[in-house]
Chain A
């Protein structure tokens, strides 16, 4: 490319500049809302309520963070999110990896049927109501275990990993069998080490979807001490904008509902930002792995 640079006409240079500017604008537009929220979170209550915050904090204060970090419910929900994320991701891997391996073996009887059995759930879904009633019948409402198990598997992840296992050359398996390895050993000692990028991709997708999970946690959990961060966040945002009384208690403080909302948003984004570099390392490959064949 560098060699071609000299061959670029003046028009091309203007074109290159224009694309760089457009990409820059889109990037800034993506980033700006986060900067704005961060600025609001560090701003004083009056400035935030009056709409004076644009780019940097106005009447800078840590009051909103002090308020939120001293709230036991916030920490409880944070802990719950960790429980759901770690427990849920481990449960997912425990079910998905062996299943994907089994489905990738040509000697499995009924392989086509089982693949269809899995893939069908991508195309047809019973919907919210039967799923909810089923959870109730299983006695899994308002339960940590219910949330962890009910969202452990999805067909897409199994298919993605199965495709990856299928793409590995047979010679590895044959060599392991020569050494007397059984299927558990082959999966554990050969396939899992060879599939680290694919497994990492799925693990990270599981972690992110668990961390962000909201709707079913809101529907299925009734006890306040069991709700994850996202549900707590939602309740707080809703009560800040609706509950006059709560808002009134805040207005006598150096922080306002806007800065408290913003502070909670920032606190819940931080863990995502921490694992984001790892996610980025894998997802570009991962997303392309999935889209190959049935």
Chain B
């Protein structure tokens, strides 16, 4: 007991760092490591993992400026400067992919952002707890289903003759459409699928914000004879506006992030014109055609644009909400 107390005292003492001579600091450091080495042992595996799997690829990004050869490797391939970037910006397909990324994200934002808010407001109006619980359980579910399955469902449902969508259109005498081969249908299907999959799960954040609204506001509104509709507009929405704005800023910051896995699963050559985004282009150009250097340059360009957007969004969100999300 006594020795453990001393140890505890030592541990406490070591958390105050002396600002004296080098010798004192060294003594303190040795003492600190003696007491706290376990913390560094705990941290080490994660640090090594980050270095090997995320930071080493950042070092590998230099191939964006090199004529990459598999035999020479990352380090020894010759430098070519900005050549790959010049290639990129004169490549119509890359420019199309870049613009598509922004267009698809903008559509996602326009239709996908309000959906969970509306859903949360509706959920809040449901008085029957069982009904509300059941509905929530169901609408959260698609978030946990893999994109391969979602794409499989979409492919089956939108199939030209066998699919339910064309079956229903047939009831109304409409001609059958092979949706997934038509460029004009790709974005509506993609954005709609996204809403179907994520709106429910996205409503959780807003429901939590609604739960935090001061109940006395509603009580006094009831006394004043306000209707539920008025309460939504005058109390609930203004109260959760900070959450809405922060979520909106973050969404805008992540505009370069399009779920390219889902696009790879749903697009085909005939819909590339509206569906191809930067990451799907990088995938085809790099991993399928082996043009690693040009593809890495495209990825680097994408990552830098995304990084700047996220940083700006974070700063704005922090300034707005004082607490940033990450």
A interface vs B, CB < 8 Å? 1, 4-5, 7-9, 11-12, 15-16, 19-20, 22-24, 26-27, 29-31, 33-34, 36-37, 40, 48-54, 94-96, 98-99, 101-103, 105-109, 114, 117-119, 121-134, 137-138, 149-150, 152-153, 156, 158-159, 174, 177-180, 182-184, 187, 208, 211-215, 219, 230, 233-234, 237, 241, 258, 261-262, 264-265, 268-269, 272, 276, 279-280, 283-284, 287-288, 290-294
Q: Is the CB of B47 within 8 A of A117?
A: yes
> Does more than half of chain A's interface fall in helix, strand or loop, or is it mixed?
helix
- Judged by a CB distance under 8 angstroms, whether B292 is at the interface is yes
Within B128-150, which residues are at the interface with A (CB < 8 Å)? 128, 131-132, 134-135, 137-142, 144-149
Residue from B57, B132, B162 within 8 A of A48 (CB atoms)? B162
B46 interface residue (CB < 8 Å to A) = yes
With A133-B74, A159-B326 as given contacts, are A125 and B303 in contact (CB-CB < 8 Å)? yes
Report Cα–Cα, A248/B39, bound state, in Å.
Answer: 62
Please name all residues of chain A whose beta carbon is closer than 8 Å to the beta carbon of B324 when the two chains form the complex: 293-294
Chain A neighbourhood of B283, CB < 8 A:
128
A29-B196, A131-B57, A291-B205 in contact; A50/B162 too (CB < 8 A)?
A: yes
Bound-state Cα–Cα, A101 to B41, Å: 11
Interface range on chain B: under 10, 10 to 19, 20 to 34, or 35 or more?
A: 35 or more
Q: Which residues of B contact A258 (CB under 8 A)?
A: 156, 159, 162
B257 → A minimal CB distance (Å): 10
Closest to B129 in A: A1
Quick one: which of A9, A53, A280 contacts B137, CB cutoff 8 A? A280
Q: Are B122 and A132 in contact (CB under 8 A)?
A: no
> How many CB-defined contacts (below 8 Å) exist between A and B?
295
B interface with A by C-beta (< 8 Å)? 1, 3-5, 7-8, 11, 14-15, 29, 32, 36, 38-43, 45-47, 49-50, 52-58, 60-61, 63, 73-74, 119, 122-123, 125-128, 131-132, 134-135, 137-142, 144-149, 151-153, 155-157, 159, 161-164, 166-167, 170, 196, 199-200, 204-205, 208, 222, 227-229, 261, 264-265, 279, 282-283, 286-287, 292, 295-296, 299-300, 302-303, 306-307, 310-311, 314, 323-326
Docked-complex contact A127 and B61, CB < 8 angstroms: yes
A134 to B120, CA, bound (A): 43
Are A272 and B145 in contact, with the CB atoms below 8 A? yes
Query: Which residues of B are found within 8 Å of A291, using beta-carbon distances?
Result: 205, 325-326
Pairwise interchain contact B61-A128, C-beta atoms closer than 8 A: no
Further pairs besides A23-B122, A294-B324: 4, Cβ < 8 Å: A12-B228, A134-B60, A178-B4, A265-B149
- Report the Cα distance A22→B39, complex, angstroms: 53
Contacting pair A212 B147 (CB below 8 A): yes
Name 12 A/B residue pairs within 8 A (Cβ), A-sorted.
Answer: A16-B127, A30-B141, A37-B153, A51-B166, A108-B40, A109-B29, A126-B54, A265-B149, A265-B156, A268-B149, A272-B145, A293-B323
